[in-house]
A = this chain, B = another copy of it.
Amino acid sequence: MENNNQNLCTRLTLHQTAKFLKKHDNFVILTHSSPDGDTLGAGYSLFYGLKEMGKVAAVICADVIPQKYGYFAHETDNVDSTKATVIAVDVATKSLLGSLEEEFGDKVDLCIDHHISNSEFAENLYLDHTASATCEIIFDLLQEMDVNINDNAAMALYTGIATDTGCFKYSNVTAKTHTVAANLYKYNFNPAEINKLMFDTKSRNLLELERMVLDTAEYHFDNKCILLCVTAEMQQKTGCSGSDLEGIAVISRSVEGVIAGITIKQTDDDTYKISLRTYPPLNASDICKKIGGGGHNAAAGATVTGSLEEIKAKILDSVKENMEANNAGISPTE
């Protein structure tokens, strides 16, 4: 649906993108909604770069910027958005602009992104899907424009790369990613403190929620499958919801021997959101399609209504079927 601008979207090279930025003077930089380290890191590092070039720019996000990014996400300029050049960073489709879509969805002059799935909604697009993070691209861009990277920009760039790669842990990391990180270490900031804040800090309430969730752990199919539940009551008691719960699915995929990690999160009285993480030979997408959902090979989901017991039975049935189809079923000797 969002590809209707496809024919109008011009793919730029890095050099053309640099030229584009140099040519204009007033910018609005849009980040995606539910902002993460990469969209914010990209937005703010670009902002600091444009400031070094003597330009005027505002960073705008549909949602409140989480406090924890406050060390680089400082105040930006006041810009008349009707007269500004509009840039979107790390925004793969215009719906990801959230409440900003209405005002800006069809007015993005340039999108800078690393998602191969980018829907080409912008007038111009610089896409490098080999980049681990959009911040890796912004680094290239600032180098290409020969713009000074100040310490704020360096912190923002480092944050985006670290958060989008699980601190250099995931398969999107390349030699280039580490080369950029090595460059950023030359600036005056404390990467270890950033990493502590991003990766090793959880609230007491979240720790309490994790304890409750671990109490619900069920193992199935010779321990090849773990099932965790996050009830509405747990969310109410701890005040944790939304992105707080991302870590729960991570637990489900980190248990030794588990090839299907199921997390069932209650979103309403009889509505549950299933998150499934799988390892080969299982296919999360196939399993979730069976119950009306979808996704990727290794991570998929579905929203299902019914009682918790019904939903457990449904997803477990589908996992079992996929295990059998892939000869990963229950071993008779165990």
Contact = CB atoms under 8 A, between A and B. Distances in A.
Given A178-B182, A211-B214, A215-B211, A169 B255 contact: no
Given A254-B201, A256-B203, A168 B167 contact: yes
Interface stretch (A29-37, A117-125, A184-192, A307-315): A184-192
A207 B201 contact: no
Nearest to A169: B195
Copies in the complex: 2
A186 B176 CA distance: 10
A253 B197 CA distance: 12
Contacts of A3: none
A250 interface: yes
Given A175-B185, A207-B214, 9 more contacts: A166-B195, A167-B169, A169-B192, A173-B191, A178-B181, A201-B255, A204-B223, A211-B214, A214-B214
29 contacts: A167-B167, A167-B168, A168-B168, A169-B192, A169-B195, A170-B192, A171-B190, A173-B191, A173-B192, A175-B183, A175-B185, A177-B182, A178-B178, A178-B185, A179-B182, A200-B250, A200-B254, A201-B254, A201-B256, A202-B255, A203-B255, A203-B256, A204-B256, A204-B257, A207-B217, A208-B217, A210-B214, A211-B211, A211-B214
